[in-house]
Amino acid sequence: MMTKKPKEVTPNHVNRICSETQMVGDTVTNSDMRIDGCYEGNIISSGRLVIGETGQYKGTVQCRFLDVWGRYSGTVEALDMVSFKTGAIFEGEVHTAKLMMELGVVFNGNCTMQEELKPKSELS
């Protein structure tokens, strides 16, 4: 699982899973990532992960920032901030320093907030 520490974000690089795409597996990246399709697996990212309006994600994530417009089921460890946007549906656990939730979010889970969240894993 997640055993590596994220490095600095690679600027101007975004990994994208487009709508109507289904993907299963684990991803480790120094870049931002956007999911508009269906993804099941574990993700370690040094940057921002976005689950778009049509995105569906199931798994465990470690990232710096997480923005959710779509569906997320699992556990997230975001070092800086998790943001749930109107229409997002979440089931699981959140571990983060800051949490933002807009009106219209469905949140079924637990949230643990710490001022300084330290990464548990490393990215080689």
- Check: CB of residue 85 under 8 Å from CB of residue 100: no
Count how many domains the chain has.
1
70 in a domain, yes or no? yes
64 in a domain, yes or no? yes
Range of the domain at 32: 19-102
β-strands 43-45, 32-35 pairing: unpaired
Pick the more confident residue, 99 or 122: 99
Amino acid letter for position 37: G
Separation in Å, CA 103 to CA 33, 72, 91, 100: 25, 17, 17, 10
111 in a domain, yes or no? no
8 in a domain, yes or no? no
Burial label for 99, CB within 10 Å (0-12, 13-18, 19+), is middle
Task: Tell me the mean pLDDT in the region 47-73.
Answer: 97
35 in a domain, yes or no? yes
pLDDT in tens, 15-57: 899 999 999 999 999 999 999 999 999 999 999 999 999 999 9
13 in a domain, yes or no? no
**pLDDT reported for residue 124:** 42
46 in a domain, yes or no? yes
**Residue 120 above 70 pLDDT?**
no
Comparing CA positions, the residue from 16, 62, 59 lying closest to residue 41 is 59
Task: Tell me the mean pLDDT in the region 117-124.
Answer: 55
**Residue 1 above 50 pLDDT?**
no
Measured in degrees and rounded to the nearest 5, phi and psi for residue 39 equal -135, 130
Model pTM score: 0.83
Structure tokens at 27: 């991803």
Percent of the chain scoring above 90 in pLDDT: 78
